[in-house]
């Protein structure tokens, strides 16, 4: 519930602006005090009167000519959370680059409270390197994101870029405003480790780290104390404690040093490493007949073997079918194994989406449909919470 909580809803200019009327309605129904700000473009899609009728107050629309002499700072100081829905590529770009040329962007730059952005745009705009660059910048500046998700877009198109549904946004705002008080310590591992052959070359894998980072960010969004041990330099949410590592040995050591109630082992840890790494670059003229490999530490097994045993979630990116993954879940004695077949389109490494099958400790499977990695992260955390609650 959001009884008496002060929520600032910023609406920018996309077709999904109509959904923000539903969002405003849901926020009011949840008991929030809602103020709305609209960009000039947003007003091409939805009129201020709609929001005035829903919230009981006229939306704010301009830096100049408002009753307040400084509406952006007043609004920024008033609210406990800002939600930008829909968030256009243009407004995302402005804020990522410190441009504050209208009321919405100036308010976002003034806000000291958490800012949640719900992007909505066509897939081409979402995938554009400039948009992705801006998202990364905002993430590392501490902005929070919900969505976008894959689905039907304006004009009959289908793809990534659909705004999250109002109810999901309200739930995210509730989580932001009422942090998790369980005190649980959650560890997430992410990324593909790199095992050096010499100072230049390494044995690695194609893990894009997106799944692990999505889980850590989603946990942080819920106010959970989360440590992310990651073999990448990708940014994480502001409240995530990040431990950067490179090799399987370093990952094992970092995990060993953590007190853990829940371990979500999404990293693709190398199974083998070169038996020795040359100090100098191995030259073509010196030649290299073969590389001797030795096993790396089994980080997952070391977590499962702890006493008391944390709740352990393993990940298996496989090509061998779900039967092999079920065997693995039972062998590894994890509480949950998240399996995905990396040969399937839209699944596995380097994609924004994933189709996973959850396998529990008895080998029971639950196949989820194709969805964004952020949605997988959210549903996975819900599932872990349900399973832990059932165990007491
Ligand atoms: C019909 C139509 C639909 C649009 N939908 C979107 C959209 O979903 N996402 C987006 O980023 N831009 C969209 N745009 C472009 C934005 O309206 C435009 O970039 C505008 O300058 C955004 O301004 P604002 O961020 O200040 O609201 C759309 C434009 C039109 C004409």
What does the pLDDT look like over 54-80, one tens digit per residue?
999 999 999 998 999 999 999 999 999
User: Which atom of ligand 1 is nearest to 161's Cα?
Assistant: 8
- Ligand 1 site, CB within 6 A: 12-16, 39, 41-42, 88-91, 120-121, 125
Compute the average pLDDT of residues 302-318: 93
Compute the average pLDDT of residues 296-306: 95
Low-confidence winner among 152-161, 222-231, 316-325, 343-352 (lowest mean pLDDT): 343-352
Distance in angstroms (rounded) separating the CA atoms of residues 268 and 249? 13
Read off the pLDDT of residues 323-344 as tens digits, 9 standing for 90 and up: 989 999 999 999 999 998 877 7
Residue 186 phi/psi, 5° resolution? -110, 130
- Is residue 104 predicted with pLDDT exceeding 80? yes
- Distances 55 to 23, 99, 146, 308 between C-alpha atoms, Å: 11, 29, 23, 50
- Is residue 181 predicted with pLDDT exceeding 90? no
User: Which atom of ligand 1 is nearest to 89's Cα?
Assistant: 11
Q: Which of 205, 233, 340, 354 is catalytic?
A: 205
Planar angle of CA 202, 207, 348, nearest 5 degrees: 150
- Is residue 209 predicted with pLDDT exceeding 90? no
Residue minimizing CA distance to atom 29 of ligand 1: 14
* pLDDT at position 77: 96
Distance in angstroms (rounded) separating the CA atoms of residues 110 and 63? 13
* pLDDT at position 73: 97
Residue minimizing CA distance to atom 16 of ligand 1: 13
Compute the average pLDDT of residues 93-110: 97
The burial class, CB within 10 Å (0-12 / 13-18 / 19+), for 106 is buried
- Is residue 362 predicted with pLDDT exceeding 80? yes
Band of the pLDDT at 350, cuts 50, 70, 90? low
Read off the pLDDT of residues 130-173 as tens digits, 9 standing for 90 and up: 999 999 888 777 788 898 988 888 877 778 899 999 999 999 89
- Is residue 14 predicted with pLDDT exceeding 90? yes
- Is residue 346 predicted with pLDDT exceeding 70? no
CA of 87 to the centre of ligand 1 (A): 9
* pLDDT at position 20: 98
CA of 88 to the centre of ligand 1 (A): 6
Q: Which residue from 160, 251, 236 is spatially nearest to 205, judged by alpha carbons?
A: 251
From 13, 62, 101, 154, give the residue whose CB has the most ligand 1 atoms within 8 Å, as the site to mutate: 13
- Is residue 234 predicted with pLDDT exceeding 90? no
The rounded mean pLDDT for the chain is 91
From 14, 84, 92, 125, give the residue whose CB has the most ligand 1 atoms within 8 Å, as the site to mutate: 14
Helices (H), 8-102: 17-29, 42-45, 48-55, 71-78, 89-96
CA of 96 to the centre of ligand 1 (A): 17
CA atoms lying within 13 Å on the CB side of residue 368:
22
Residue of higher predicted confidence among 364 and 209: 364
* pLDDT at position 348: 61
Known catalytic residue at 205 = yes
Read off the pLDDT of residues 246-255 as tens digits, 9 standing for 90 and up: 999 999 999 9
Read off the pLDDT of residues 253-273 as tens digits, 9 standing for 90 and up: 999 988 899 999 999 999 999
CA of 221 to the centre of ligand 1 (A): 27
Q: Which long-range contacts (CB under 8 A, 24 or more apart) does 241-246 make?
A: 245/193, 246/193, 246/194
CA of 41 to the centre of ligand 1 (A): 7
- Is residue 1 predicted with pLDDT exceeding 90? no
Percent of the chain scoring above 90 in pLDDT = 70
Domains and their CATH numbers in the chain: 6-177 (3.40.50.1950), 185-391 (3.40.50.10300)
């Amino acid at each position: 519930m959001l009884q008496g909580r002060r929520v600032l809803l910023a609406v920018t200019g996309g077709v999904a602006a109509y959904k923000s009327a539903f969002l405003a309605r849901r926020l009011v129904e949840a008991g929030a005090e809602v103020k709305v700000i609209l960009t000039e473009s947003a007003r091409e899609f939805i009129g201020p009167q709609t929001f005035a009728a829903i919230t009981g107050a006229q939306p704010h629309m301009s830096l100049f000519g408002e009753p307040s002499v400084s509406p952006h700072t007043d609004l920024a100081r008033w609210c406990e959370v800002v939600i930008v829905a829909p968030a256009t590529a243009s407004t995302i770009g402005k804020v990522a680059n410190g441009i504050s040329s209208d009321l919405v962007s100036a308010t976002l730059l003034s806000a000291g409270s958490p800012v949640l952005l719900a992007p909505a745009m066509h897939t081409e705009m979402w995938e554009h390197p400039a948009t992705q660059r801006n998202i990364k910048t905002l993430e590392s500046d501490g902005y929070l994101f919900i969505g976008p998700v894959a689905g039907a877009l304006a004009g009959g198109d289908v793809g990534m870029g659909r705004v999250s549904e109002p109810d999901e946004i309200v739930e995210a705002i509730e989580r932001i405003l009422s942090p998790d008080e369980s005190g649980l310590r959650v560890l997430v591992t992410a990324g593909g480790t790199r095992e050096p052959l010499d100072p230049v070359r390494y044995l690695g894998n194609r893990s894009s780290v997106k799944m692990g980072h999505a889980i850590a960010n989603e946990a942080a969004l819920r106010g959970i104390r989360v440590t992310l041990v990651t073999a990448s330099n990708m940014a994480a949410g502001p409240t995530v404690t990040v431990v950067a590592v490179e090799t399987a040995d370093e990952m094992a050591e970092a995990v060993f040093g953590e007190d853990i109630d829940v371990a979500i082992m999404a990293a693709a840890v190398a199974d083998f490493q070169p038996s020795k790494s040359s100090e100098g670059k191995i030259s073509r003229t010196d030649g290299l007949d073969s590389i001797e490999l030795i096993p790396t530490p089994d980080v997952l097994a070391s977590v499962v073997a702890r006493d008391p045993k944390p709740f352990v979630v393993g990940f298996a990116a496989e090509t061998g079918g779900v039967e092999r993954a079920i065997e693995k879940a039972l062998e590894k004695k994890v509480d949950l194994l998240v399996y995905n077949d990396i040969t399937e389109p839209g699944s596995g490494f380097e994609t924004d989406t994933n189709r996973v099958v959850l396998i529990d400790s008895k080998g029971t499977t639950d196949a989820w449909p194709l969805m964004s990695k952020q949605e997988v992260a959210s549903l996975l955390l819900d599932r872990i919470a349900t399973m832990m609650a059932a165990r007491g």
